[in-house]
Structure 1
Amino acid sequence: MEQSRRISVHRALGGGAVADVLLWRRRREGVVLLVGSTGLWLLFERAGYNFLSFVANVLLLLVVILFFWAKSASLLNRPLPPLPDLEISEESVLRAADIAQGWINQILLIAHDISIGQNLKLFLKVASGLWLISYFGGVFNFISLVYIGVLLSLSVPVLYEKFQDQVGEKLILVYEFILSLYRKIDDSILRKISFPLNRKKKTQ
């Protein structure tokens, strides 16, 4: 019975190669991602290396290697560097445009509901979400946030898959507490807003 209620974390993450890496079923790729992200974080945060300089230096190194490889290949009658066709397919561009259009339409719909529809609950959710983003953006910089995201992505799914039943019980309790707290705050705000409106109607 309990087994039937368990969520397939692998399927929830898409069930592909990314899910395998996040659940440590491809250990080599997981280790490469963890070590690589840790190295980049140490390079940018602790060594004070600039991101733009890093990208420029990496591209410069690649260009120099490819140039001398091609020159030596023509002199020594060796094969040229095995570079693929460096072009973006029209299908990839259309797929990215469809995804971007969906996100933009969703943002515009939320803005419409807040401004025209005067949806107070949606306004409070968006405002609190933006405030949290602003707060964490002030505490951590972008590189640190990305690194924290990588660490959470490599730890939370595999821990949740292992301790799903225990985590589910605690999440239900936390959700019920947050829901009750949200209802109390929401009711108090609505009461404060509606009270002056009722007084104006009575005076008229």
Structure 2
Amino acid sequence: MGEPHQSFVYHALGGGAVADVLLWRRWYGSVTVLLGSTALWFLFERAGYNILSFIANVLLLLVLILFFWAKSASLLNRPLPPLPDLEVSDEWVVKAGAVMRIWVNHLLTVAHDIAIEGNVKLFIQVAFGLWAVSYVGSFFNFLTLFYMGVIFSLVIPPLYESCQDQIDDKLILAHNIILSKYKIINDTILKKIYVPLNKEKKFQ
């Protein structure tokens, strides 16, 4: 009973190292992500450390370590620092460009449907989504939201994997309630909006 649910969640998360970390199958990786994100959040949010100064200090420390390592290696006949060839491959650029093209085309399609086609339903959905993001963002800054996203990513997938049947039942019930409320709104408000638009088109 549990294995199909686990494989479903695992494949839904990509089925790789990221899925192993999010599902706590590589607990050392999950603990590292949790402790690292918590330390960064505390350092920048509570201790008031500046992110630009932090990056500069980390890079300075890294450069000093590599410099003295290389100097000592030449003096003591030791191997140089094991640095790989730092370059971006053409394949990686093509994949990143393909992903960006999909997202940009989707945003342009949404903008076209709202501005040109006059899709009122899509306009309300986008406006409500942006308002929700703005409302939540007024309570938290970006770093706190990012940290909350990391925490939720490490909590929700394993919780859903272990209680999928119960959660699916609740989600189906909530979906039916939202769908019924949406139909009421569609029958009352949206029809009043569509009628004047159709009349204007007829007069034109």
Same structural fold, with TM-score higher than 0.5 when normalized by the shorter chain: yes
CA-CA distance at 1:183 after TM superposition: 2.1
Determine if contact 1:6/1:164 at 8 Å carries over to the other structure.
no
Distance 1:85 1:200 in 2: 64
Post-superposition shift, 1:149?
Answer: 0.6
How far the C-alpha of 1:192 sits from its partner, in A, is: 3.2
After the TM superposition, which of the residue ranges 191-200 and 44-53 deviates more from structure 2? 191-200
| Structure 1 position 182, deviation (Å) | 2.0
Deviation at 1:82, TM superposition (A): 0.4
Q: Distance in 1 between matches of 2:188 and 2:79?
A: 74
Return 5+ residue gaps in structure 2 as ranges: none
Report the AA paired with residue 161 of structure 2.
E
- State the distance in 1 between where 2:28 and 2:16 align: 16
Cα separation, 1, equivalents of 2:66 and 2:3: 54
TM-score (norm 2): 0.91
Moved more, 6-15 or 174-183: 6-15
Counterpart in the other structure of 1:43:
43
The answer (yes or no) to whether the contact 2:6–2:161 under 8 Å persists in 1 is no
1:62–1:2 distance in 2 versus 1, CA, 3 Å: closer
Query: Equivalent residue for 1:175?
Result: 175
Name the residue aligned to 1:88: 88
Distance across 2 between alignment mates of 1:167 and 1:152: 16
Find the counterpart in structure 2 of residue 106 from structure 1: 106
Alpha carbons of 1:196 and 1:117: their partners in 2 closer, same or farther (altered >3 Å)? closer
- Give the unaligned 5+ runs of structure 1: none
How far apart are the structure 1 equivalents of 2:110 and 2:72?
58
How far has the Cα of 1:198 moved from its partner? Answer: 8.2
| Deviation by residue 1:151-199 (Cα, 9 ceiling, x = unmatched) | 1110100000000111011111111111122222233222432465689
- CA shift in 2, pair 1:144/1:27, >3 Å: same
Instruction: Specify the SS of the correspondent of 2:36.
Output: helix
Kindly state the Cα deviation for residue 117 of structure 1 after the two structures are TM-superposed: 1.1
Number of aligned positions between the proteins: 202
Contact 1:6 1:165 in 2 (8 A): no
Name the CA distance, whole Å, in 2 between partners of 1:196 and 1:143: 45
Which one is further off, 111-120 or 185-194?
185-194
Per-residue CA shift, 1:90-134, capped at 9, x if unaligned?
110111011111110110011001111111111111111111111
Q: Is the 8 A contact 1:23 1:157 kept in 2?
A: yes
Amino acid at match of 1:167: I
SS of residue in 2 equivalent to 1:140:
coil
Distance, in Å, in 1 between the alignment partners of 2:67 and 2:52 is 22
In the superposition, the TM-score normalised over structure 1's length comes to: 0.91
Measure, in 2, the Cα distance between the counterparts of 1:87 and 1:64. 22
